[in-house]
Amino acid sequence: MMVYTVSAFYALEPFSAEQRQSWREELLTWNEPHLSGLVILAPDGVNATVGADEKTLARVEDWFRQHLSRSPHFKHSYSAVRPFRRWKVYLRKETVTTGGRLGSSHPETGTHVDAQQWNALLQDPGAVVIDVRNDYEISMGRFPNAIDPGTRSFSDFADFVSPAQLPRDQKILTYCTGGIRCEKAVPYLRSLGYEQVYQLQGGILQYLERFPGKTGTFEGECFVFDDRVALDDQLQPSLTY
């Protein structure tokens, strides 16, 4: 039985229109039979989820390592079903749609913490945990005591921050599926004067690689933007959704 390896990754760095078009044309020439996925090329970077056999996926990841100035963090999961119906490469205005409401992305200003450090921070009784995903994603699973901003779209996150009156003297811990939405949310929070803001490096996907099942604290399942719908705490396709 064919088992697909699914790689989710992103890189935030500026790309010219000519460069994005050139990359798209090259990527669309790839016609390996087991390759499927979605690659978004935008002025602010790359956001992608790719499924393939191990050999093909290694080629995909090597290509991006060679073409990006910073090697992305590749988060892996597995699936017995094809995660996407076809291979898609899109040119878009943003890697993640914000409607320009969250300002520019400056990943270097964020405080990234790995899964083990995240677990330690969760023990701080004064820490405020914010899930920056959308409400339908959060309904499937979350970290304990995480705040649900109640957004249907990530571009609405700015509406949550303003009336929420988050405490400025406490640690704010943010997380999302793979990390890219935190790359937008954390600089925005910092621009409003929040200084102790942390983000889970690699998001839920990388956390579950390190702490699967009951070894970690994530509860429920993780929504993903492909035909698997969600992953359980072993990073296997959901049997529920």
How far apart, in whole angstroms, are the C-alpha atoms of residue 20 and residue 42?
A: 7
Q: What is the CA 158 to chain-centroid distance, rounded?
A: 18
- The confidence score (pLDDT) of residue 38 equals 98
Q: What are the catalytic residues?
A: 176
Tokens of 86: 């076809």
- Phi and psi at 229, nearest 5°, equal 75, -55
Q: Name the pLDDT band for 108 (thresholds 50, 70, 90).
A: very low
How far apart, in whole angstroms, are the C-alpha atoms of residue 70 and residue 106?
A: 14
- The confidence score (pLDDT) of residue 144 equals 95
CA angle 216, 222, 228 (to 5 degrees): 135
- Does 181 have pLDDT greater than 60? yes
Q: Name the pLDDT band for 162 (thresholds 50, 70, 90).
A: confident
- Does 163 have pLDDT greater than 90? no
Q: Name the pLDDT band for 217 (thresholds 50, 70, 90).
A: very high
- Does 107 have pLDDT greater than 60? no
Residue 13 Cα distances to 70, 98, 181, angstroms: 8, 17, 15
- The confidence score (pLDDT) of residue 70 equals 85
Task: Write the pLDDT tens digit of every residue in 21-63.
Answer: 999 999 999 999 999 999 999 999 999 999 999 999 999 999 9
Q: Which of 203, 45, 219 is nearest to 112 (CA)?
A: 203
- The confidence score (pLDDT) of residue 86 equals 96
Residue 155 Cα distances to 34, 41, 42, angstroms: 34, 19, 16
Residue 229 Cα distances to 15, 92, 127, 224, 238, angstroms: 30, 23, 30, 5, 7
Give the range among 111-120, 137-146, 183-192, 210-219 with minimum mean pLDDT: 183-192
Task: Tell me which of 68 and 163 has the higher pLDDT.
Answer: 68
The predicted model gives 110-132 an average pLDDT of 95
Q: Name the pLDDT band for 166 (thresholds 50, 70, 90).
A: confident
How far apart, in whole angstroms, are the C-alpha atoms of residue 178 and residue 94?
A: 16
Can you give the three-state secondary structure of 72-140, one letter per residue?
A: CCCEEEEECCCCCCCEEEEECCCCCCCCCCCCCCCHHHCEEECHHHHHHHHCCCCCEEEECCCHHHHCC
- The confidence score (pLDDT) of residue 110 equals 62
Q: What percent of the chain has pLDDT over 90?
A: 85
Task: Judge contact between 100 and 113, C-beta under 8 A.
Answer: no
- The confidence score (pLDDT) of residue 28 equals 97
Task: Write the pLDDT tens digit of every residue in 69-93.
Answer: 988 999 999 999 899 999 999 999 9
Instruction: Provide the mean pLDDT of the chain.
Output: 93
**What is the number of other CB atoms lying within 10 angstroms of the CB of residue 165?**
7
- The confidence score (pLDDT) of residue 103 equals 65
Q: Which of 221, 227, 235, 206 is nearest to 9 (CA)?
A: 206
- The confidence score (pLDDT) of residue 109 equals 56
- The confidence score (pLDDT) of residue 105 equals 53
